């Protein structure tokens, strides 16, 4: 029985090395290929668009990105989806008067596709900005 256990362990060890890593470990190896930028915001009555800009540096015009707005507690409260074409542009997320004040963060993760149709993940440097109530 012990011999069988050792053989099984020897066979499974190389397979374990080839298995994908957890999300946290693989995120560390995803290249940063650009940045998000934003400015401070004021919460006014109702809901309004809050503009941000992005810069993406990938070797293809075929890319897609998800930009998430995280509130001060780290919860996603809004999402936008810029895609392909140029390497710079702008988008917007919606901020409403019922949101919390504090430091918000825009994070972006995406994929670009090479000529063979293979997807390559990337991230962009996040943007942080303050949100306050109107006076």
The label of the residue with tokens 């943007």 reads 127
Residue 72 in any domain: the answer is yes
Of 112 and 4, the structure prediction assigns the larger pLDDT to: 112
Q: Does residue 75 sit within a domain?
A: yes
Determine contact, residues 49/43, Cβ cutoff 8 Å. no
Tens of pLDDT, residue by residue over 38-97, are: 999 999 999 999 999 999 999 999 999 999 999 999 999 999 999 987 899 999 999 999
15 lies in some domain: no
Prediction pTM value: 0.76
**Residue 85 falls inside a structural domain:** yes
Domain count, the chain: 1
Environment class of 31 (CB within 10 Å of its CB; exposed 0-12, middle 13-18, buried 19+): exposed
Q: What pLDDT, on the 0 to 100 scale, is given for residue 2?
A: 45
The verdict on residue 26 lying in a domain is: no
Which domain, by its residues, includes 104? 32-133
pLDDT score for 84: 82
Residue 69 near residue 103 (C-beta atoms within 8 A): no
Residue 115 is part of a domain; what is its CATH number? Answer: 2.60.40.2550
Q: Virtual CA dihedral for 88, 104, 93, 126, nearest 10 degrees?
A: 20
Q: What is the pLDDT of residue 85?
A: 77
Q: Is residue 11 part of a domain?
A: no
């Amino acid at each position: 029985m012990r011999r069988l256990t050792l053989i099984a362990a020897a066979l499974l060890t190389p397979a374990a090395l080839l298995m994908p890593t957890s999300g946290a470990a693989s995120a560390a190896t995803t290249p940063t290929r650009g940045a998000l930028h934003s400015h401070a915001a004021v919460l006014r009555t109702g809901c309004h668009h809050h503009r941000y800009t992005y810069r993406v540096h990938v070797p293809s015009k075929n890319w897609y990105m998800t930009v998430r707005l995280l509130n001060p507690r780290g919860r996603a409260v809004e999402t936008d989806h810029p895609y392909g074409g140029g390497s710079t542009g702008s988008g917007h997320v919606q901020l409403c008067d019922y949101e919390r004040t504090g430091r918000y963060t825009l994070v972006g993760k995406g994929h670009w596709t090479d000529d063979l149709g293979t997807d390559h993940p990337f991230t962009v440097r996040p943007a942080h900005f303050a949100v306050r109530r109107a006076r």
